[in-house]
Amino acid sequence: MDCQKLAERLLPGKYPALSFYEEKYPPRALGRDAEVTRLAPSPTGFIHLGNLFVAIANERIAHQSGGVMYLRIEDTDDKRRVDGAVEAVKNALRYFSIRFDEGAEIGGDDTYAPWYQRQRAEIYRAFVKDLVARGKAYPCFCTEEELSALREAQTEAKKITGYYGEYARCRNLTEDEIYRNLDAGKPFVIRLKSEGNAEHKLSFRDEIKGDITVTENDQDVVILKSDGIPTYHFAHAIDDHFMRTTLVIRGEEWLASLPIHLELFSVLGFDRPRYGHNCSLMKQDGETRRKLSKRKDPELSLEFYRQEGYFPRAVRVYMLTLLNSNFEEWYRKNPEKPLEEFPFSVRKMGKSGALFDLDKLNDISKNELSCLSAEEMYAFLKEWADEYGSAEEKKYFENRDYLLKVLNLVMGTGGKKRRKDIMTARQSMTLLSYFFRKGNREDAYRTDAKTKDDILNAFLNTYDCNDDAQVWFSKLKEVASSLGFAAEMRDYKADPGAYKGSVSDVAEVLRIATTGRANTPDLWTVMRILGAEETKKRIREEIGT
């Protein structure tokens, strides 16, 4: 068989010598320990938590080592392509502070461009052609129907499915048969002529999982599809080589195809990057756990966190705690330090899949948000409201000074007694709403109408907006005891039967009257912010209702 001739027939035309590409994409001039990492999503437009998870690891490793992190778009499958996807990916990752140094639509050094695989078709073909010429790859004319029939027969016979060994029909086609098929215009793919043996085990050092055993690949995998575009396996080998990637952190769903990748690097004569296979994020689903799924789990979508108004840093912190188990301790000890100073370690990455825990994320969010100054909180909330807030919520931001005051006093931002129960921007809108509208009365009075009016009237008679918190409260106590309520909780608890209730019941009436709710931040503070006029107005409206 004249392989050279076959290669020319399959991939006609002049391709550069392979050494051309080695020169065009030279090794990077970086320090010895510098890692070159990448994120290589396909442009489906859907970027999820798993992508972010892996992206953070790759980003940390690259930048911590003085290396480079780039964005490559794996668009070899035309069917999955969605317009605007790259922009969406870029924006989502930027929102969560993933910084790329170069790559698709990133700018930066373009020595290793293009970053879209479809634009690299010529490179792949040059190497496929070389493989064919060297007898390491061959054309396959099997149709999809034939292949699925093969698969069924193999399953039936309890054999391993796939295109390998005796089942690789086109592998043994004679020169005549090949050219007859070509002359007939039959579509073909190009397959790797695997030299592996599935009986052979080899040991492999995974950067995360440690030493593992893998089985040699013996599948004649497709490397060039009938549309002339390579499969992922082939494209990634070429790209990671020529983009001079040193370390690939990817999801463990790739572990199974590692043998293919090893053989590909070997037959191409490339040094391969090091690999680390990261556990995937799981979710409890009834009795079992499973990978987070795009269709069933809204919390998988990065968009979910933006809509809910999660503080991006909180998401990042949570990812980091899952990624490196010692991060949480470090963070506790170094709350002031930038996250970038944490010594991220590939070795510390977990080997088993972690359940995604929304409670934990929420807890982290509360802590993160409670650390913000009023100004920072304002900026964060405004950004969220501009995009996702209701028309009414957007109005909260019209009076900046007023809102800052609210933030300061009610949320305790910047102070010592801060609230720590706020997880998201969306949720904090509820808290803010007290100060902008009374809204619907969410909680009903628990006293009878007359008692309620008595309390309200009595309060109005003594109310002075200049009173400090203590005076204000002692006046409230007077109102309480004048109407038969216990002024001190102690007294009430000692003998509940002797009173109509306690100060807390009196305060509750007032609370509902001013805000419509039984649970609010400190009432004195609320009234202070609302101002005397608004407070009185709201209370008067409640009398006689």
Partner RNA sequence: GGCCUUGUGGUCAAGAGGUUAAGACGGCGCCCUCUCACGGCGCAAUCCCGGGUUCGAUUCCCGGCAAGGUCACCA
Among 48, 120, 125, 209, binds RNA (CB under 7 A): 209
Work out the angle at residue 313's Cα, subtended by the Cα atoms of residues 312 and 315, and round it to the nearest 5 degrees. 65
Among 105, 122, 421, 541, binds RNA (CB under 7 A): 421
Nearest to 22 by CA among 244, 232, 266: 244
State whether residue 57 is helix, strand or coil: helix
Q: Tell me which stretch binds RNA (CB under 7 A): 13-21, 144-152, 165-173, 305-313.
A: 144-152
Among 66, 84, 187, 484, binds RNA (CB under 7 A): 187
Among 118, 274, 418, 441, binds RNA (CB under 7 A): 418
Among 137, 319, 458, 503, binds RNA (CB under 7 A): 503
Among 125, 306, 438, 511, binds RNA (CB under 7 A): 511
CB 71 → RNA: shortest distance, Å?
A: 13
Q: Distance (Å, rounded) from C-alpha 278 to C-alpha 267?
A: 26
294 touches RNA by CB under 7 A: no
Q: How many residues bind RNA (CB under 7 A)?
A: 88
Structure tokens given for 487: 């002024």
145 touches RNA by CB under 7 A: no
Q: Tell me which stretch binds RNA (CB under 7 A): 36-44, 62-70, 174-182, 530-538.
A: 36-44
Among 151, 169, 171, 394, binds RNA (CB under 7 A): 151
CB 127 → RNA: shortest distance, Å?
A: 16
Task: Give the number of C-alpha atoms closer than 13 A to the C-alpha of residue 345, restricted to the C-beta side.
Answer: 10
What is the maximum alpha-carbon separation in the chain?
Answer: 110
Q: Tell me which stretch binds RNA (CB under 7 A): 4-12, 129-137, 209-217, 333-341.
A: 209-217
CB 266 → RNA: shortest distance, Å?
A: 18
CA distances from 349 to 210, 231, 519 (A): 11, 29, 43
- Positions in 263-282 near RNA (CB under 7 A): 279-280, 282
- Positions in 235-264 near RNA (CB under 7 A): 252-257
Nearest to 162 by CA among 144, 172, 148: 148
Among 16, 210, 298, 343, binds RNA (CB under 7 A): 210
Q: Distance (Å, rounded) from C-alpha 186 to C-alpha 179?
A: 10
For residues 34 and 518, which CB has a smaller minimum distance to RNA in the complex? 518
DSSP state of 371: T
28 touches RNA by CB under 7 A: no
CB 94 → RNA: shortest distance, Å?
A: 21
Q: Distance (Å, rounded) from C-alpha 331 to C-alpha 343?
A: 11
Instruction: Using DSSP bridges, classify how beta strands 137-140 and 189-192 pair: parallel, antiparallel or unpaired.
Output: antiparallel
CB atoms within 10 A of CB 59: 24
- Positions in 516-545 near RNA (CB under 7 A): 518-524
State whether residue 189 is helix, strand or coil: strand
143 touches RNA by CB under 7 A: yes
User: Is the Cα dihedral 328, 330, 333, 334 positive or negative?
Assistant: negative
For residues 63 and 70, which CB has a smaller minimum distance to RNA in the complex? 70
For residues 63 and 239, which CB has a smaller minimum distance to RNA in the complex? 239
- As a residue count, the chain comes to 545
158 touches RNA by CB under 7 A: yes
160 touches RNA by CB under 7 A: yes
DSSP string, 509-544: HHHHHHHS-S--S-HHHHHHHH-HHHHHHHHHHHTT
- Positions in 81-140 near RNA (CB under 7 A): none
Q: Tell me which stretch binds RNA (CB under 7 A): 30-38, 91-99, 123-131, 161-169.
A: 161-169
Side chain identity, residue 52: L
- Positions in 462-501 near RNA (CB under 7 A): 469, 473, 489
State whether residue 436 is helix, strand or coil: coil
CB 194 → RNA: shortest distance, Å?
A: 13
Structure tokens given for 248: 């690939």
For residues 41 and 103, which CB has a smaller minimum distance to RNA in the complex? 41
CB 351 → RNA: shortest distance, Å?
A: 4
CA distances from 194 to 179, 233, 235 (A): 22, 14, 17
- Positions in 323-352 near RNA (CB under 7 A): 325-326, 328-329, 348, 350-352
Q: Distance (Å, rounded) from C-alpha 486 to C-alpha 495?
A: 10
Q: Distance (Å, rounded) from C-alpha 293 to C-alpha 55?
A: 18
In contact, 123 and 111? CB cutoff 8 Å: no
371 touches RNA by CB under 7 A: no
Among 19, 288, 440, 461, binds RNA (CB under 7 A): 288
